[in-house]
Structure 1
Amino acid sequence: MSYPLSTRPRLRLESVARRAALHPELVRRFVALSLLEASRDAGGELWFPLTAPATIARIQRLRAGLGLNYAGVGLVLDLLARIQELETALAERGATRWT
């Protein structure tokens, strides 16, 4: 069994909602739709990674800029994450980036 030496920095629901200028219920909906990563503590409170406000901004840009519904936003977010993984793997192998 291993124990972490420190806790990972994270944000509370209210902090994420305030930083994104959204109602907390909309942030909860993003979590329910799997658009936003969150974890729950023993008391059931939602906790978010420090990147949550940036992810919310990306969700809002995709909705407003491309007129996507939330299912479409989820698909685009998944594709963008996959592209990032592939580019990282290429960079680690020393391959040149294609444009």
Structure 2
Amino acid sequence: MTTYALVRPARLDLHSYARATGLHPEVVRRLVALGLLEPARDARGELCFPPSQVAAAARILRLRESLSINYAGIGLVTDLLDRIEELEATLRNLSRRD
């Protein structure tokens, strides 16, 4: 069975994303190259970002400015924070079953 989306998913192009996050487009490209942001590509092959990536940029900026972590370290910290969030969610689900 084939399904079709009724609405096009919201996406921000590079410049709209840069404005929304307060980052220069070149910084956004650098964060993408480092694997810190996960954009999609549009039909022309241009970067486009789901709205959830605005929060990801805010998290990166908080870590960079508050803790003075370099971009390589930010990748590790965000991976660990994501893993902690998954483990906490699993723990909550297990405690609800009891």
TM-score bin (small chain) = 0.7 to 0.9
**Cα distance 1:4–1:84, how it changes in 2: closer, same or farther (>3 A)?**
farther
Sequence identity percentage: 55
Cα distance, 1:28–1:2 mapped onto 2, change above 3 Å: farther
Note the C-alpha offset of 1:92.
2.3
Cα distance in 2 between the residues matched to 1:68 and 1:2: 46
Length, aligned pairs only:
95
Show the counterpart of 1:41: 42
TM-score (norm 2): 0.84
TM-score by length of 1: 0.83
**Who is 1:24 aligned against?**
25
The aligned amino acid for 2:87 is: L
Which secondary structure state, in structure 1, belongs to the residue aligned with residue 48 of structure 2? strand
Q: Secondary structure at the match of 1:35?
A: coil
Q: Which amino acid aligns with 2:83?
A: R
User: How far does the alpha carbon of each residue in 1:22-65 deviate from its partner, in whole angstroms, 9 at most, with x for none?
Assistant: 11111111111000111112311111121122211111111111
Distance in 2, matches of 1:11 and 1:3, equals: 24
CA RMSD for the aligned pairs? 1.7
Query: What is the rounded CA distance, in whole Å, between the counterparts of 1:43 and 1:14 in structure 2?
Result: 15
In structure 1, give the amino acid aligned to 2:5: L
Secondary structure at the residue paired with 1:79? helix
Q: Separation in 1 of the partners of 2:88 and 2:79?
A: 14
Report the structure, 1 or 2, having the larger helix content: 2
